[in-house]
Structure 1
Amino acid sequence: MNKITAQFQNKNALITYISGGDPSLEMTEKLIYKLQNEGVDLIEIGIPFSDPLADGPVIQEASQRALKAGTTLKKLIAKLDKIQNRVEVPLILMGYYNSILNYGEKEFARDISKAGISGVIVPDLPVDERADLFKYLAEFDISQIMLVTPNTSEQRLKKISAKSSGFLYCVAHLGTTGDDQQGIYPELETYLNRVRKTAGELPLGLGFGIDGPEKAKKIIDYSDGIIIGSALIKVIQAGNNEDEMLNNAGQFVKSIKSKL
């Protein structure tokens, strides 16, 4: 079974997002250990980018901090390669196509495979784009996790489901990450039932705007897992030093896990 898909078996999976290199690559390493020790099932690591269009201000600012600290995709992959023997949960890189294209698509797939990365999310790479990246990820057995939204057409949903592996990322509302003011899509159950009919056995992960345990509790019955990013970054940044940041992350994850 696919390593990512296996994390959804017989449980509701918790998927967390952190921005690689925020505030440093050393802190990213410590956060990965902390999150896996607290029971996170999958960890998404953002590739710092100057113009992350799908992300709200919290992740945009995290990306800027990482870039100012000197984080590059090459350095991030090197760090993950170095620690892979200590990481048991599957790691997923989430980033924009321009970063990967500049790195080199085949080189990117090859290097992240060597570094033990299990999956990739590229929010601005449409399913019908004839990018070589799809071919190279499959060649190196890296899951291509794609996104669907409440207004994704049935025809497009079939294409996306067919190309996705690991899980299908279901966007909970129209907008950017971290927009908890907009609220979860009001017809969430209908939306996810429609997706599930097309996706078959592919697990559904629900993200965007899930800001805490109470919201997680309300929606967990509709999907196979939830994805939390901006809210986690906020509580991490509330710490005054590394110990407080790590403790904040651990306590937040515990509060979410208690509702799953």
Structure 2
Amino acid sequence: MTKYKMAAAFARVNEEGKKAFTAYIMAGDGGLHTLKETILLLEDAGVTIVELGIPFSDPVADGPVIQEAGKRALAEKVTLKAVLDELASIKDDISIPIVIMTYANPVFKFGAQNFADHCAAAGVSGVIIPDVPMEEEKEFKDPLSKHDIALIRFVTLTSSDERISETVNGAEGFIYAVTVNGITGARAGFAGDLSEHLARITEKSNVPVLAGFGVSSKEQAETLGAACDGVIVGSKIVSLLHEGRGHEIKNLVPGRVGVK
């Protein structure tokens, strides 16, 4: 699949006058046997990319909803290798780009090259490792680059203009623009100057900019999507799936994040 499949997905929604909608799910929440069915449900809902979280015992970036999903997956004995093996077995049945979200420790234990090789075999397009700063990304990025798999970079609300410029320079896949200070989870609202912040990042970046952390409604997706290239929704989707309300996910994808 590689990062080029992800780029093609972004190009497709852009040609349609829409914005990208990335859905985060926790791998193994409900058992790995449900993964294919869930990904196909997201495809049908109009999702552009699936961000697939790997359960981890110390998820520093995750809010309570995703932490609980991770605990449920860990109780099912779900591991990084098990997720990648399952993806490899179903990759021919899914067409949507997959981005793996994990932490540095599981990748270290697996081995960076071994991890990259397994990601390639699983058809992964990109990888997100939130606890690895740009200055320390090389040992992860180099093995992934051999397989044309993107390592996604973050821009936060506190990033200076200089830091934003450094981050977007050489960025691959997309920029993950963090919309709140803190962990993931639904928010009632955002800072008043957030749209301006997102627009500034988007202007500087040669890859799409997606706004994530706290996006939980169609209205928020529309508002934030208007200032950048799309949004990432996690906790709300994880909750809907856990509650057996996955059919409602399509209601979060405005116009399928369309520009009005």
Q: So what's the TM-score if we normalise by structure 2?
A: 0.91
Q: Which residue, out of 83, 90, 98, partners 1:83?
A: 90
Contact 1:35–1:250 under 8 Å retained in 2: no
CA distance in 1 between counterparts of 2:42 and 2:141 reads: 29
Q: Distance in 2 between matches of 1:71 and 1:214?
A: 34
Select 2:247's aligned residue among 220, 245, 250: 250
Is contact 1:144-1:163 (8 Å) kept?
no
Unaligned runs of 5+ in 2: none
Question: Is the 1:121–1:145 Cα contact (8 Å) retained in structure 2?
Answer: yes
Give, in whole Å, the separation in 1 of the partners of 2:185 and 2:249. Answer: 16
- C-alpha RMSD of matched pairs (Å): 1.5
Q: Does 1:203 align with 2:218?
A: no
Q: In the alignment, is the contact (CA less than 8 A) between 2:29 and 2:69 conserved in 1?
A: yes
1:102 offset after TM fit, Å? Answer: 0.6
Aligned residues: 250
> Percent identity at matched positions?
35
Alignment partner for residue 193 of structure 1, among 199, 217, 221?
Answer: 199
5+ residue gaps in structure 1?
239-244
Q: Is the CA contact (8 Å cut-off) linking 2:186 and 2:236 kept in structure 1?
A: no
The answer as to whether partners of 2:46 and 2:253 remain within 8 angstroms in 1 is: no
State the distance in 2 between where 1:83 and 1:130 align. Answer: 29
Pairing 1:115-130 to 2, within 5 Å after superposition: 115-129=122-136
Find the aligned partners of 2:171 and 2:85 in 1 and give their Cα distance.
26
In 2, the alpha carbon distance for the partners of 1:189 and 1:215 equals 11
Task: Name the counterpart of 2:115.
Answer: 108
Per-residue CA deviation, residues 153-182 of structure 1 (Å, 9 max, x unaligned), is 22322232124211111011111111414x
Residues 88-97 or 152-161, more deviating: 152-161
Q: 1:51 aligns with which of 58, 72, 79?
A: 58
Q: How does 1:1-260 map to 2 (within 5 A)?
A: 2-9=4-11, 10=14, 11-129=18-136, 131-181=138-188, 183-199=189-205, 201-238=206-243, 245=244, 248-258=245-255, 260=258
- Residue aligned with 1:166, SS: coil
Q: Residue 33 of structure 1: CA displacement? A: 1.2
**Following TM superposition, by how much is the alpha carbon of 1:188 offset from its aligned partner in structure 2, in angstroms?**
1.5
Which TM-score applies when normalising by structure 1? 0.91
User: Which region of structure 1 is more displaced relative to structure 2, 25-34 or 70-79?
Assistant: 25-34
Judge which range, 144-153 or 67-76, deviates more: 144-153
Instruction: Give the distance between the partners of 2:93 and 2:148, measured in 1 at CA.
Output: 21
Contact 1:18 1:229 in 2 (8 A): yes
User: Could you say what secondary structure the match of 1:184 adopts?
Assistant: coil
Deviation of residue 146 (structure 1)? 1.0
Distance 2:121 2:137 in 1: 25
